[in-house]
Every structure is written in C-alpha cells, then in structure tokens.
Amino acid sequence: MSTLSALTTQLAALETAHLYRRRRVQDAPAQPHGNSDGRAVLNFCSNDYLGLANHPDLIAALQLGAARWGVGSGAAHLVSGHTSAHHALETELAAFTGYERALLFSTGYMANLGILTALTQRGDRIAADRLNHASLLDGAQLAQATLRRYPHADLTILRQRLLTEPPPRLIATDGVFSMDGDLAPLPALMELAQDAGAWVVIDDAHALGVVGTGGRGSLAQFGMRPAATTILMGTLGKAFGTFGAFVAGADAVIETLIQRARSYIYTTAMPPALAEATRVSLRLAMQEDWRREQLRALIAQFRHGATQLGLPLADSVTPIQPLLVGSSELALAWSQALEQAGIFVSAIRPPTVPVGTARLRITLSAAHSPADVNRLLEVLGAQFAQRHREGAAPEK
C-alpha cells in the first residue's frame, strides 16, 4: 500500500468511527451571534468568556499599536523582537497574578512545553492529573521524564504514590479542566507538593479572568496566594480576548525559561500591537466585575433550565458546561441537529476525552443574553425529547 493510500485508509477509519474533525469557516467576529459556513448561528462553543474579543477598546488599541509598532515584531524576544510593549505587558501580568515575573509565549501549548522541558529532564518524575490538557502530557514526553498520571482529582491515589514511590520533581494540573469545567483540588494538592518538595505547575488557561477575586484564577478562587514553588501558565486568547500566553513564577524560574525553553527561544515574538491590545483587555478584565457577575448569572440560569429538562450535565460552576452524551456518533448527531436549529456547539470526542465520554461542550460568555440562554435551552429540550422518543437519549 502506498504512503498516500495508507493515509486515505486511516482517514476513512476516522470517519467510520465518528472521530473525523472538520473545520467550519466563520464569517463574523468572535461574538454570540455569528455566521458559520454561511449560516447564521448562535455560538455556544467559544472560549471568549468575558466577551472581550470584539471589544471596541481592544480594536482601537490594536490599531493604535499597529500605527506605532507596525504589524510584526520581526524577530524572537532574544534577538530584536522584545519591545517595551511586551515588557510592560509582562510586568502587568506578573502584578495581576501575584508572581515576581511573567514571560510571554506565543501559545499556551508552547508555554507548557517550555515549562516542562526547561525544568525537568530524562529520569525526573512528573505527576499529572489524567485529564490535563494535551500540552502538559506532550511536554512531559518531550522532556523524556517519567510521567505518572493519577486518576482525575484523586488525591488519595496521588498521596499513596508520594508515600511509596520516588518523589516527583513536578506536579502538573489544570486549574479549571477544559473539557469538564471543574476546578482542581488545589489546597490539598499544594500541601502534598510542599511535603514532597515538588514544583506545582497550574495551567490556568480556562480560569484566569473568570474565577477568583478580580478574575485572578484558580488559586484566588480558593483564597490562596502563589507559593515560591508554584508556576502558573495562562493564555490570552480566552477570557482576555486576544492571543498568546504567558508563564508567571519566581524570578529564577523565568530566567531559567529564558535560557532553556526552546519554545520561547526559537520563535518570533507576538506582534507588539497585540501586546498593547492585551494590556487594555487585562485592565478591563480586572475593573469590570460585572462581566463575571453576568457570567455567573447565565451559568446559574443554564444549569437550572438544564436540570428542569433532565439534561445530563457535568458538575461545573464555570462557563464550561459539558452535556455528557456517551458515544461519538450520538455527540455528532446532537451537534448537527443543534446547528440545523441555528445553535453552534461542538461535539467533543476521543482522544480529546476518554472513550465513552463524548459530549457537547457548551460554553457561556458574558456577551450572551438571558434570551440567548433561553433559546439554547429551548432547542436542547426539543432535541432531548426527540432523542428520548427515538431511544437514543444520553444516559443521566
């Protein structure tokens, strides 16, 4: 079989297993009411949690930044690409999160690769929650460390391993889990890490801007402050509405990343105009608590309505509200039926989630209205009733 024939066969197998992924072409800004593949849709699968991605102040800051700095940065941070705009944003992100310093990366994926490869090496042990983002798994593999994944949020198992196995150099966890919407048990986890003398890496991509006082993330949600051995990864393309990522930590951690993190050293810096826009979004996220209050109200409205309908939701108080379906085929069918009714919600299937746990990943934004949520519940209720009559409703 030729190389191309083998690829074609593999792609056909994905299609048969209902695991094939297709892109949709969007023809509107990131906002609740948009256009997907030429169809008007109400979007419930964006990570624009605070509704800032299309904010006029960010657009103006980006335009002014481009007028001053041009479009591209022209080089990596360690060559000539690091501008005063980048430097100011890093300083402000450090102050926002409560760490000594922050360091910009191009994406959250590259940031997590950078942390794990710079701070661990072959023979080191990494403990990680089984439902962590793929970038944390890939970073451990790239570092050639020994990865020990514990069952999701099961600190009893983790505690047993810490007592019976060589201590890990690092414990990695999502702050808010991207496909389930639940929070990591950080208070107990931090105690275990301290006893083991391990670093703690928190991927707060889906927490920053959303949870905790002033949107300062999952540690703040528990009333905790960063420890010297805590490292935070945050993204800028979700609640902050722009693009990029950062790592926050102690001065020595950031200097180590600058010297060793290949995903930082060998890539072009983000456009400085984008850094200027992000500085504005950071200020808005801190100052406008009404966005988080509105988001909490919408989450409560949706969960109440979904409970009334008997929909099988995961236990989440965050904007990520997974509707657990089970099979990939059924998740696709639900997603397609919703799109026909003008509601855009993606079907999440293996390997993104474990086999048998396919779902609709519904996400809410402060830019949604109560009427938008009522429309979603109306369509979901009709679909659930139809699937139940057909004997294909998801298990509760």
Q: Across 277-337, where does the E strand assignment appear?
A: 320-326
Confidence of residue 248 (pLDDT cuts 50, 70, 90): very high
Query: How many other β-carbons are positioned within 10 Å of the β-carbon of residue 75?
Result: 12
Q: Are residues 154 and 208 in the same domain?
A: yes
Confidence of residue 29 (pLDDT cuts 50, 70, 90): confident
Percent above pLDDT 70 for the chain: 97
159 falls within a domain: yes
Q: What is the DSSP letter of 213?
A: G
Residue 393 confidence (pLDDT)? 62
Taking residues 276-304, report their average pLDDT. Answer: 97
Q: Across the chain, where does the E strand assignment appear?
A: 33-36, 39-43, 101-105, 125-129, 146-150, 170-174, 199-203, 230-235, 245-249, 320-326, 343-344, 347-348, 358-363
Tell the residue number behind the tokens 């107990």, with chain if given: 188
Residue 347 confidence (pLDDT)? 93
Taking residues 375-388, report their average pLDDT. Answer: 84
pLDDT surpassing 90 at residue 375? yes
Residue 391 confidence (pLDDT)? 62
2 falls within a domain: no
Q: Are residues 60 and 199 in the same domain?
A: yes
Residue 388 confidence (pLDDT)? 61
Q: What is the pLDDT of residues 102-157, one digit of tens each?
A: 999 999 999 999 999 999 999 999 999 999 999 999 999 999 999 999 999 999 99
Q: What CATH number does residue 68 fall under?
A: 3.40.640.10
* 42 burial type by CB count under 10 A (0-12 exposed, 13-18 middle, 19+ buried): buried
Note whether 96 and 114 are within 8 A (CB).
no
Residue 75 confidence (pLDDT)? 97
Residue 387 confidence (pLDDT)? 66
Catalytic residue, candidates 55, 77, 238, 368: 238
Q: Are residues 232 and 195 in the same domain?
A: yes
Opening angle at CA 165, ends 160 and 170, nearest 5: 90
Pick the residue with more confidence: 211 or 23? Answer: 211
* Residue span of the structural domain in which 41 resides: 21-50+289-389
108 falls within a domain: yes
* Average pLDDT across the chain, whole number: 94
Catalytic residue, candidates 178, 316, 328, 365: 178
- Both tokens of 156, joined, read 């009893």
183 falls within a domain: yes
Catalytic residue, candidates 55, 133, 206, 368: 206
User: Closest Cα to residue 29, out of 371, 280, 365, 283?
Assistant: 365
Taking residues 43-72, report their average pLDDT. Answer: 97
> Considering 287, 303, 325, which residue would you say is the last residue of a domain?
287
Note whether 256 and 119 are within 8 A (CB).
yes
- Angle subtended by helix axes 370-389 and 289-309, to nearest 10: 20
Tell the residue number behind the tokens 């991927």, with chain if given: 203
How many angstroms separate the CA atoms of 5 and 94, rounded?
51
Q: Are residues 260 and 318 in the same domain?
A: no
**Known catalytic residue at 369:** no
Tell the residue number behind the tokens 């988001």, with chain if given: 295
Taking residues 198-206, report their average pLDDT. Answer: 98
Tell the residue number behind the tokens 């007028």, with chain if given: 67
Q: Are residues 136 and 261 in the same domain?
A: yes
pLDDT surpassing 90 at residue 286? yes
Query: How many other β-carbons are positioned within 10 Å of the β-carbon of residue 274?
Result: 25
How many angstroms separate the CA atoms of 184 and 152, rounded?
9
Confidence of residue 1 (pLDDT cuts 50, 70, 90): low
**Number of domains observed in the structure of the chain:** 2
Confidence of residue 390 (pLDDT cuts 50, 70, 90): low
Q: Are residues 375 and 258 in the same domain?
A: no
**Known catalytic residue at 36:** no
What is the model's pTM? 0.94
Angstrom distances, CA of residue 228 to CA of 104, 134, 185, 232, 235: 19, 26, 19, 11, 21
Tell the residue number behind the tokens 């109306």, with chain if given: 378
246 falls within a domain: yes
Confidence of residue 389 (pLDDT cuts 50, 70, 90): low
Q: What is the DSSP letter of 18?
A: T
Range with the lowest mean pLDDT among 62-66, 292-296, 351-355? Answer: 351-355
Percent above pLDDT 90 for the chain: 87
267 falls within a domain: yes
Q: What is the DSSP letter of 80?
A: I
Range with the lowest mean pLDDT among 284-288, 299-303, 350-354? Answer: 350-354
Q: Are residues 205 and 349 in the same domain?
A: no
CA-based torsion, 209, 211, 215, 217: positive or negative: negative
Q: Are residues 314 and 257 in the same domain?
A: no
* 88 burial type by CB count under 10 A (0-12 exposed, 13-18 middle, 19+ buried): middle
Residue 205 confidence (pLDDT)? 98
Q: Are residues 218 and 321 in the same domain?
A: no
Angstrom distances, CA of residue 87 to CA of 81, 215, 297, 353, 361: 11, 22, 36, 37, 36
13 falls within a domain: no
**Known catalytic residue at 396:** no
Q: What CATH number does residue 296 fall under?
A: 3.90.1150.10
CA-based torsion, 154, 160, 165, 170: positive or negative: positive
Note whether 179 and 211 are within 8 A (CB).
no
308 falls within a domain: yes
